[in-house]
Amino acid sequence: MKRTLSLILTVLTFYNTFAQDLGKGINYFTELRGTTSNGDYTPFWFSANKYGLSSIDTNSGYIRGGLFRSTEIDSIRKWKYGYGIDIAVPSNYTSKFVLHQIYGEMDYLKGRLTIGAKEQPLEMKNAELSSGDLTYSINSRPIPQIRLELKDYWTLPIFKGFVSFKGHISYGWYTDGNWQKDFTNSSHSVYSKGSKFHSKAGYIKLGQESKFPITFTAGVHFCAQFGGESWNVGKRADDTSDFNGSHVTNKNDLSSYWHAFFPGGSDASDAGYDNAEGNILGSYQANIKYHGNNWALKLYGEHFFEDHSQMFLQYDWKDFLIGVEANFPKNPFVTSFVYEHIGTLDQSGCVYHDKKANLPIQISGTDDYYNHNIYGSWQHWGQAIGNPLLLSPIYNEKGVLRFMYNRITAHHIGICGDPTSEFHYRMLVSHIRTLGTYSTPTNDPIHSNYFLGEITYQPQKIQGVSITASFGTNGGELIGTSQGGMLTISKTGVLTK
């Protein structure tokens, strides 16, 4: 009896201490944003790469607030705990209420377990200036998931610390099934509900900045969409008739989770031409970086694949994102510069057919980046999960849940600087040339230009206040011409110490 009572008291003491600790180190965040413009759509960079918390409407805005506890509050402990909740009440968005982030996480040494919806940063690119990753970027709303990762590079005890690596694995759930149904109602386009998400990645770094000025990093990122149910399967992308196509119940058992991790199995609608189960895609990434005295230069590249034809060397690799990032010594003009070139015109060529008895050779062309015949497309709440320059389905006025302009050549430039200790600016300029898709090509190449200029003021006398004024324009034929302004006012601070 005494031992039982002692155990209960010990547990209650631990729980009380744990609960008190979780109440310490909480930061708050509030934000007000308003956007106005002319034309058919708001300037492109007002809506892109905002983690999906944005609108393409010409006039929109939100009130936003959140509470966060970083795991770094427990920096002296092996076990660290953090959490966050981030809510927005928007106007002229895809939702009238957005539970943008809600998560809890636990760190042990360099490992981290996160449960919930949380904004995940770009892995190997400058989030402020880059156009984004090709596979999993910062353009769409966070997907709720269970994610296990190495949050920092872990240096192997061998090779004298020359080799280090990091990675993650996660499973999650899409939250936009009802929105997909409403969006596609007028077009009867393919859409899905209740589908699951999978992501895994691994990166290896060679070199140490403190010992040698050059480092090389390479990795691969795989993603998959699987399970759930799909409607209107079998319709052509350009078919907007009332024919609804087929309803398909995708595989939702434990084997589906296995096949998302190790591609295999087949989809319910393959009808004799078995493909790997689900929508599977990914990219290879690499960079080489020179670390100078208060400056750095990085060259990087990313190759995207939708299936084996571009995953391995079955076909020539012609589609890439190639970029350069320069970080300059402290000066009042330019702090960082990014240039990126994106080419997605090839996609393994323009011909596809399956192997048959009278045609024993399979040709795996027309990869149709970001599109899928069962799940519609690689999007969440209408925004591309990958790079936004492959124009997102949210722009499709007829409600077709597909990427209609995924064959592009693009040039993108980003510049930022700190003229004074209180002012920061950035500029983004993008030029896109598209041929549509192989199945629905444009009559002639379509060109578009996107510009963003913004300046942020953070007064030293009022800690935590940030005021950002943005000016943006659209030019060309893809989403029309427009120009407009955006004002963002935010305040951060400590709620509990």
Q: Looking at the predicted structure, is the pLDDT value of residue 15 above 50?
A: no
**Sequence spans of domains, the chain:** 38-54+76-81+107-496
Residue-wise pLDDT tens digits, 249-263: 898 889 999 999 988
Choice among 52-61, 310-319, 411-420, 440-449 with the minimum mean pLDDT = 310-319
Q: Determine the straight-line distance between the first and last CA of the chain, rounded to whole angstroms.
A: 40
Whole-model pTM: value is 0.92
* Mean pLDDT of the 140-150 span: 98
Nearest to 58, CA basis, from 380, 477, 474: 474
Which pLDDT band holds residue 12 (cuts at 50, 70, 90)?
very low
Q: Looking at the predicted structure, is the pLDDT value of residue 230 above 80?
A: yes
Which pLDDT band holds residue 350 (cuts at 50, 70, 90)?
confident
Q: Looking at the predicted structure, is the pLDDT value of residue 103 above 70?
A: yes
**pLDDT in the model for residue 268:** 65
* Mean pLDDT of the 350-357 span: 71
* Number of neighbours of residue 292 by Cβ within 10 angstroms: 11
**d(C-alpha 380, C-alpha 54), whole Å:** 13
Question: The domain 38-54+76-81+107-496: what is its CATH number?
Answer: 2.40.160
**pLDDT in the model for residue 383:** 98
DSSP bridge pairs for 441: 436
**pLDDT in the model for residue 380:** 98
More confident residue, 242 or 76: 76
* Mean pLDDT of the 65-89 span: 93
CB 237 within 8 A of CB 402: yes
Q: Looking at the predicted structure, is the pLDDT value of residue 235 above 80?
A: no
Q: Looking at the predicted structure, is the pLDDT value of residue 153 above 50?
A: yes
* Mean pLDDT of the 288-317 span: 90
Fill in the amino acid letter for 72. E
Q: Looking at the predicted structure, is the pLDDT value of residue 55 above 50?
A: yes
Residue-wise pLDDT tens digits, 447-490: 999 999 999 999 999 999 999 999 999 999 999 999 999 999 99
Choice among 93-102, 182-191, 241-250 with the minimum mean pLDDT = 241-250
**d(C-alpha 381, C-alpha 394), whole Å:** 8
CB 337 within 8 A of CB 328: yes
pLDDT over 70 percentage in the chain: 90
More confident residue, 146 or 239: 146
Which pLDDT band holds residue 11 (cuts at 50, 70, 90)?
very low
Q: Looking at the predicted structure, is the pLDDT value of residue 354 above 50?
A: yes
More confident residue, 269 or 283: 283
* Mean pLDDT of the 31-55 span: 98
Q: Looking at the predicted structure, is the pLDDT value of residue 391 above 70?
A: yes
